[in-house]
Structure 1
Amino acid sequence: MSQIRVARLVIAGEPLVLGVADKPTPGPNDVLVKVAAAGLVPNAYSIITAVGAPVPTLPAVFGLDVSGVIEAVGENVLILKAGDRVYVDPHMTCGTCTSCRRGREDICRYNSLRGYVALTPEGGELLNQNPLGGLSEYVIAPDTRIAKLPDTVDLRTAARLGYIGTSYAGLKKAGVGAGKTVLINGVTGTLGLAAVAIALGMGATTILGIGRNRDVMRRIEQLAPDRISTRSSEDNIDLVAWVQESTGGDGVDALFDCLGNGGDSNSTNTLLAAITKGGRAVLAAGGVDGQISQSYWDILTRDVAVVGSQWFTSTEIDELITLIGAGVIDLSFLEHRSYPLDEVNDAFAFVGDRPGGFVNVVVHPGDTATDV
């Protein structure tokens, strides 16, 4: 059997180890993808360094977001063919639990993200059944998890679509669209900056952001100075009052909360008061502990819904790719920082320092010159 190069995490907190694995063979409904780019985000660094995180049994090949080119397809695969440029959706579900049968794969009891983490206690079973993440020359996935890419979407940008897609799905769930106002808590990170670009493309007229990295916030405001305004969470100001003043006293239609790992849920609780009556808060930050609370009277009289959003559907990722490809959602501001597989530990160290949402860190397991 042919061998392929991979980078494995053997011990949590230790550097990844380069090695080889058997090249996967696609089953009847599978697609074999030659990996061009595997995206890394700060939370990926947190996951591989955290002992006890809900990760695959070690040693394991990590790598959440993958873009590449199809090399082979199973005998039952329709539409997709060798040579197609694609994004590989790492979301894994059982397909048979009550939630999946009701069309809610996002809350499957076995919910997990290949090459990343389990999202439920049972999700580790699926992680271990699918051990090959994106830090590998090849990955294999069901044909239902493959999204075709137009030539106008480059493969490095596509290697970030998991996080961009999470923001897209969250803003849709929040009802963001033409003429709406939105507040993004955690605006300088990967999810937050994606949410800004998406909200602009969706037609939001007022986009308010809260973060800590002042340099990044200044750059975000420059994307659309007449529509974007930011404030630091460390400025010791009344952020709710600022939101009210920025929206003519009404409050925002939507709060998209995407705080980074270790964020403070108390700030989220406070910002619920900045949402207009009948508005929605969408929570998408997986690394935040704490409680979110509303009084009975507040729920009754203000009708502000608080919902969660973990990932996206196949329909949503196809919509997103179409909008990016057409330039409706403009991601041209991304600064791609590329590493070969031999420098994967340098890539993790760099992204672990949280360079901000403008920087897109990608690892190229194959030949960078020919694969991207």
Structure 2
Amino acid sequence: MNVMLAARALQGSTALHLTETPVPEPGPLDVLVKVASAGLAPGMMKLLRMGAFKHLPTTLGHEAAGTIVAVGAEATGVSMGDRVRVHPNLTCRSCVYCRTDREMMCAQQAMVGHAAFSDVPMPLYAEYHDGGLAEYVRVPYWLVDRLPDGVSFDVGAKVHDLANAVRAYKCAALPLGSTLVITAATGSMGTAAVKLAPHFGVGRLILVGRSAERLTAVRRLAGGLHTETVALEDLPSVEDLTRRLRDLGPIDGVLDFVPDGPVMTQATLAMTTGGILVHMGGNNGPLSIPARVWMANCWRFVGTRACTRTDVQQVLNMLREGTLDAEELITHRFPLTEAERAVDLMQTRAEPIWMAVVNP
């Protein structure tokens, strides 16, 4: 039996385990991708601890790119040798959300190598829950996108993060020339949003993060866009963030990627009349602002948990046309044998990491 190395989650454990497992056998509607690069997302370990992985054991990793090495008899539009990225969002493809560019709202929405977000029956997730932190991954043929010539597998693996940032900008729908705050600006989603800001008509950026040194490094990703930074380590307390942002205002919108704590609330309170908060950080804490304050300020709140295929195609088009170069976002590369150490580094942020990938 052919076996491969994979980073697995096991029943009764909240750790990542490197194990040998059989190479998947593609069915008639499947393709088998030899993984060249798999993205790392520290949030998967948090979701594992929360019990969001509904099928265990499973191979982790929702971001992957590589080469098609086997094609099912009924798979169409794909060929052996195609360079592809794997789109992780599993959906029914027929409900009103799936038919109107809102497939992340589908009741069956789940992610290959990641979590499921509903209690309804999910036959696709049951079939395709194994992800890309492995030497091979099996997915239905409609979940692969060809990579443009010249785009590396590493960037291909991280297209999902870039597309998530595109979705956040679309939700914000900011007027041209707006001033935008990006929180957690030194992380994967934050750096993706900084890199894309010039493509969405942002006039000025304010980047919020823990470290002044790391924020300084991120500033260059915005190109020539006027950019200022606010380091939480330089404030007397997090509660001083609102005042500091107001001093830099007026602020038209906030893209919030912070997974916990009061930064979301503090940044929101700094917005000008008519401002919008787009949250994609999965914060479990309260947004402690009375409804009357939202009403009086005509503020808007939009939550979004994933990108759509349209967002992905927009990113791929920018990469194809050369208007977006995302290679510099990849700061760390690890072999699969070091996946455990890589995940630990992503979680602790002991050193500056923008985007990290594993190369099996």
- Settle same-fold status: TM greater than 0.5: yes
8 Å Cα contact 2:205/2:225 also seen in 1: no
Match of 2:248 among 227, 241, 246: 246
Q: Once the 2 structures are TM-superposed, how far is the Cα of residue 40 of structure 1 from its aligned partner?
A: 0.9
What percent of counterpart residues are identical? 27
How many pairs are equivalent?
Answer: 355
Match of 1:278 among 274, 277, 280: 274
Structure 2 counterpart SS, 1:57: coil
Deviation digits for residues 42-82 of structure 1, max 9, x if unmatched? Answer: 2234345x2x4311432211111001112233344443322
Q: What residue ranges of structure 2 are gaps of 5+ in the alignment?
A: none
Partner of 1:107: 105
Partner of 1:20: 21
Q: Look up the equivalent residue of 1:17 and give its one-letter code.
A: L
Partner of 1:351: 346
8 Å Cα contact 1:188/1:356 also seen in 2: no
Partner of 2:164: 166
Match of 2:53 among 35, 55, 60: 55
Q: Once the 2 structures are TM-superposed, how far is the Cα of residue 99 of structure 1 from its aligned partner?
A: 4.2
Structure 2 counterpart SS, 1:333: helix
Change (3 A) 1:196 1:302: same
Distance 1:69 1:177 in 2: 40
Change (3 A) 1:341 1:82: same
Deviates more, 1:3-12 or 1:97-106: 97-106
Distance 1:241 1:316 in 2: 35
Distance 1:172 1:164 in 2: 13
Partner of 2:255: 256
Deviation digits for residues 296-353 of structure 1, max 9, x if unmatched? Answer: 4434343211011111111110101222343433424324432322232222223232
Q: Look up the equivalent residue of 2:251 and give its one-letter code.
A: V
Structure 1 counterpart SS, 2:151: coil
8 Å Cα contact 1:24/1:138 also seen in 2: no
Match of 1:313 among 308, 311, 318: 308
Deviation digits for residues 94-138 of structure 1, max 9, x if unmatched? Answer: 335564466532112222111111223447765433232102222
Change (3 A) 1:226 1:105: closer
Partner of 2:66: 68
8 Å Cα contact 2:251/2:272 also seen in 1: yes
Partner of 2:219: 221
Change (3 A) 1:182 1:330: farther
Change (3 A) 1:172 1:9: same
Q: Look up the equivalent residue of 1:108 and give its one-letter code.
A: C
Q: Once the 2 structures are TM-superposed, how far is the Cα of residue 246 of structure 1 from its aligned partner?
A: 2.6
Q: Once the 2 structures are TM-superposed, how far is the Cα of residue 270 of structure 1 from its aligned partner?
A: 2.9
Partner of 2:31: 31
Distance 1:357 1:256 in 2: 21
Distance 1:344 1:55 in 2: 19
Q: Look up the equivalent residue of 2:39 and give its one-letter code.
A: G
* Aligned pairs for 1:121-270 within 5 A: 121-122=119-120, 126-176=124-174, 178-223=176-221, 224=223, 227-234=226-233, 235-236=235-236, 238-247=240-249, 251-260=250-259, 263-264=260-261, 266-270=262-266
Deviation digits for residues 15-57 of structure 1, max 9, x if unmatched? Answer: 41321214321423x3321111111122234345x2x431143
Distance 2:352 2:326 in 1: 11
Change (3 A) 1:356 1:64: farther
| TM-score, normalised by the number of residues in structure 1 | 0.85
Q: Look up the equivalent residue of 1:258 and give its one-letter code.
A: F
Structure 1 counterpart SS, 2:68: strand
8 Å Cα contact 1:333/1:358 also seen in 2: no
Change (3 A) 1:154 1:124: same
Structure 2 counterpart SS, 1:79: coil
Change (3 A) 1:215 1:275: same
Q: Once the 2 structures are TM-superposed, how far is the Cα of residue 269 of structure 1 from its aligned partner?
A: 2.2
8 Å Cα contact 1:31/1:140 also seen in 2: yes
Deviates more, 1:353-362 or 1:107-116: 353-362
Change (3 A) 1:295 1:344: closer
Structure 1 counterpart SS, 2:328: coil
Deviation digits for residues 256-279 of structure 1, max 9, x if unmatched? Answer: 01003xx11x33223223223233
Deviation digits for residues 216-272 of structure 1, max 9, x if unmatched? Answer: 11112244476111112341374334333334xxx2222101003xx11x3322322
Change (3 A) 1:214 1:153: same
Q: Which runs of 4+ in 1 moved over 6 A?
A: none
Match of 1:328 among 313, 323, 337: 323
Distance 1:214 1:137 in 2: 38
Q: Look up the equivalent residue of 1:232 and give its one-letter code.
A: A
Q: Look up the equivalent residue of 1:172 and give its one-letter code.
A: K
Deviates more, 1:60-69 or 1:129-138: 129-138
Q: Look up the equivalent residue of 1:347 and give its one-letter code.
A: A
Deviates more, 1:293-302 or 1:113-122: 293-302
Distance 2:150 2:61 in 1: 24
Q: What residue ranges of structure 1 are gaps of 5+ in the alignment?
A: 366-372
